[in-house]
Amino acid sequence: ILLSSSSSSSSSRPMLYVIILLCAITIIGAVSNVEKSTGVKFPDNINGLDLLGVGVRKKGPLKVYALGLYSTPPPPTPLKSLFQTLLSSPKSTLLLSLTFSSVTGPKMASALSSSLSTRYPSPSKVTELSGVITTGASTSKIGKGALFQFDCSADSVSVTINGKEAGEVNGKGIGTAFCGIYLDEKGVSKGLKEDLKENWGE
């Protein structure tokens, strides 16, 4: 915008120019890395994958664990196809942080394998994954704050517990099925899905 003024009494008086520059400022919203109901803070990225959203897994009134989903950020996606887009990601990581002190390794293995069994057709692979979780947890301190990390590709799930690699299970579609525990229409964390909708849906 250019504003000018001059004195009517003296045409030789220099004109005063006031230049106002208007700058557009774009504010880019960042994904919150804190699960608000538990106060658990997640790292912004893991193994080159970005945090896309956080949530909590409840069992009745109990908050069993907070969780974060890591993957390659999708473009803004229509809500009706958002979760299918996320399930199709080549690589995803789910990080679970226990918030209920009475949870044990075998209980985590049992709960996750039960959820997986309704989504994956091979009982032997589900049992294998349960064994990996149980064995890995037996060599690590499990309680409030314990971390269960699941690195998924379409056909594999790699398990890390408290930073220690526990093992890997391979099977066609098993990684996608595992992510489906949280991302399909019956996903067990409503909070995670709502956070993903807010961050990436349009």
Task: List the end-to-end C-alpha distance of the chain, in Å, as a whole number.
Answer: 35
Q: What is the pLDDT of residue 15?
A: 41
Q: Does residue 24 register a pLDDT over 70? A: no
Query: Per 3-state DSSP, what percentage of the chain is helix, strand, and coil (rounded to 5)?
Result: 30, 30, 40
Q: What is the mean pLDDT of residues 138-143?
A: 90
Q: Does residue 167 register a pLDDT over 70? A: yes
Residue range 98-128, pLDDT digits in tens: 999 899 999 999 999 999 999 999 999 999 9
Q: Does residue 69 register a pLDDT over 70? A: yes
Q: What is the pLDDT of residue 10?
A: 44
Q: Hey, what's the torsion of the CAs at 161, 138, 182, 192, to 10 degrees?
A: -60
Residue 153 burial by CB count (10 A; 0-12/13-18/19+): exposed, middle or buried? middle
Q: Does residue 60 register a pLDDT over 80? A: yes
Complete edge-to-edge strand list for the sheet that includes strand 164-170: 45-46, 49-59, 62-71, 91-98, 147-153, 156-161, 164-170
Stated pTM of the model: 0.84
The helix/strand count (H/E) of the chain reads as 5, 11
Query: Contact, 199 vs 31, CB < 8 A?
Result: yes
Cα separation, 193 vs 184, whole angstroms = 9
Q: Give the DSSP letter of residue 76.
A: P
Cα separation, 111 vs 179, whole angstroms = 14
Query: Contact, 98 vs 104, CB < 8 A?
Result: no
Cα separation, 22 vs 26, whole angstroms = 13
Average pLDDT score over the chain: 88
